[in-house]
Structure 1
């Protein structure tokens, strides 16, 4: 995680039409014993990562109620693609669990380095507000159990189990 002061700070501002565009949903929730498995797919690995974070937030609240009032930049790194996915989602979980309790409606990967396993992203949303956002299921943790990243030509998908 970067210590530049910009990362993990919610910046409220007017967003452009491009930033406000919501991509098609490309994820689903799969039942798993006492947990839930997120399955995300896309045209490339960037889209898979974007969809995975959106899926996690969608499990925590009705993300259609989340306004994109600003953004938060996050960075993560890992030792391989699976560890990168874990770290990336864990950063989002941390941003939700601590001030300003940020919840994203949309996530955009700004850069992913598949050789060095680093990622930079921008999430659009707002601070969580119980009077506005219905409380979904609490996500306690990201797990390594059955965590899979498929990043092959014409096959981009991932699976991750979240502890609820």
Structure 2
């Protein structure tokens, strides 16, 4: 099966809305994150030299999308100065915690190298991931879109 991951940008007042597409929710989230990083630098110039793994939880899938994007931006890029070339959502599932209560768990891994402005370039600063307009939608039987707005 071919893995589909694409992204596009939409006009949005003073921010940028990123829409990621994929043939599963996981691939749509991955495309969204790659789209976010491509606003900052040229993803194509990043090599997969190292990887970093994360496990996060959320009360729903929208919180998972927000947390993946926030961790990738704040911790991976700004704190660790790590440029992401690729991301793989390894596990995304809804887990029962009590009889009628659930939480979402996501395990993902980013691949890349230390950010180097000379090598990777710099396009535009993404200041923060916002809670505004987060969405994930099943468009067709095997086609999903995930959306998030970033403050630039």
TM bin (shorter chain): 0.7 to 0.9
What does 1:1-164 align with in structure 2 at a 5 Å threshold?
Answer: 25-94=5-74, 95-99=76-80, 101-115=81-95, 116-151=103-138, 154=141, 155-164=143-152
- Segments of 5+ residues of structure 1 without an aligned counterpart are 1-22
**For 1:25 and 1:157, how far apart are their aligned partners in 2?**
10
**For 1:64 and 1:152, how far apart are their aligned partners in 2?**
28
Q: Residue 24 of structure 1: CA displacement? A: 5.7
**For 1:128 and 1:97, how far apart are their aligned partners in 2?**
10
Secondary structure, aligned partner of 1:132: helix
- Segments of 5+ residues of structure 2 without an aligned counterpart are 96-102
Q: Residue 34 of structure 1: CA displacement? A: 0.9
Instruction: Using structure 1 for the length normalisation, give the TM-score.
Output: 0.80
Q: Residue 161 of structure 1: CA displacement? A: 0.4
Task: Identify if the C-alpha distance between structure 1 residues 36 and 121 changes in structure 2 by more than 3 Å, giving closer, same or farther.
Answer: same
Measured against aligned partners, the alpha-carbon deviations of 1:3-52 in whole angstroms (never above 9, x if no partner) come to xxxxxxxxxxxxxxxxxxxx665110111111100001111101011111
More strand by share: 2
Q: Residue 153 of structure 1: CA displacement? A: 6.2
Deviates more, 1:84-93 or 1:69-78: 69-78
* Paired residues, number: 141
Task: Identify if the C-alpha distance between structure 1 residues 59 and 108 changes in structure 2 by more than 3 Å, giving closer, same or farther.
Answer: same
**For 1:55 and 1:103, how far apart are their aligned partners in 2?**
13
Query: Are the aligned partners of 2:20 and 2:145 in contact in 1 as well (CA < 8 Å)?
Result: yes
Instruction: Using structure 2 for the length normalisation, give the TM-score.
Output: 0.86
